[in-house]
Chains A and B, each alone.
Chain A
Amino acid sequence: TQLLEQSPQFLSIQEGENLTVYCNSSSVFSSLQWYRQEPGEGPVLLVTVVTGGEVKKLKRLTFQFGDARKDSSLHITAAQPGDTGLYLCAGLSSNTGKLIFGQGTTLQVKP
């Protein structure tokens, strides 16, 4: 069974702080997707990374795909209360073609 370990599971920080969320696996993924989910809603895609070593930026969010395509990270600079939510990584398995989700990171940014 392929696993995607996401850490930390919970994060509570003050507005203006920086943070990093990690997504790790022993398996290789064709691509890795990051989603954000707000209470009462479904996940919404933030970004997809495809190439090993790829870095993508979305305003204050920086996403990186590991060189070996087994891990990824999400870095948020100067977090704001509007960043509060559940962040999910999902890897597309190279072997099975299935999308495997991490457990999620619940982020709370206090004003």
Chain B
Amino acid sequence: NAGVTQTPKFQVLKTGQSMTLQCAQDMNHEYMSWYRQDPGMGLRLIHYSVGAGITDQGEVPNGYNVSRSTTEDFPLRLLSAAPSQTSVYFCASSYVRNQPQHFGDGTRLSIL
């Protein structure tokens, strides 16, 4: 029972570097989303997708790109990492948008 799988679990980057956070789900969920979690601020939505080929911005999209070429995968790209992007990133999925989310175990990202 894999559920939502995120890789890597930990990553350290230098300012200006780019990288892709991977997210895959095996539950045939149409809705997928990316959140960042910072102390005292709960979970904030970065981008989301209601199905393959469709993506939209969430609450804090600046500095991040996403694509959804398949139902299973929803990668998050940091184009030019900044220290303000140091956070824990969670990918989540559900059958449709208004259902409870299934979360991955997160990627802990530090930008130096």
Contact = CB atoms under 8 A, between A and B. Distances in A.
Interface of A: 4, 6, 9, 30-31, 33, 40-45, 48, 88, 90, 92, 97-99, 101-104
Contacts of B42: 4, 6, 88, 101-104
Given A88-B43, A98-B45, A42 B103 contact: yes
Contacts of B92: 42
- Counting contact residues on chain B (CB < 8 A from A), the size range is 20 to 34
A90 B106 CA distance: 18
A30 B44 contact: no
Contacts of B40: 9, 103
A76 B59 CA distance: 32
B105 interface: yes
Contacts of A90: 43
Interface in B71-108: 90, 92, 97-98, 100-106
B41 interface: yes
B58 interface: yes
A7 to B, nearest CB: 12
Given A30-B98, A31-B98, A99-B101, A42 B45 contact: no
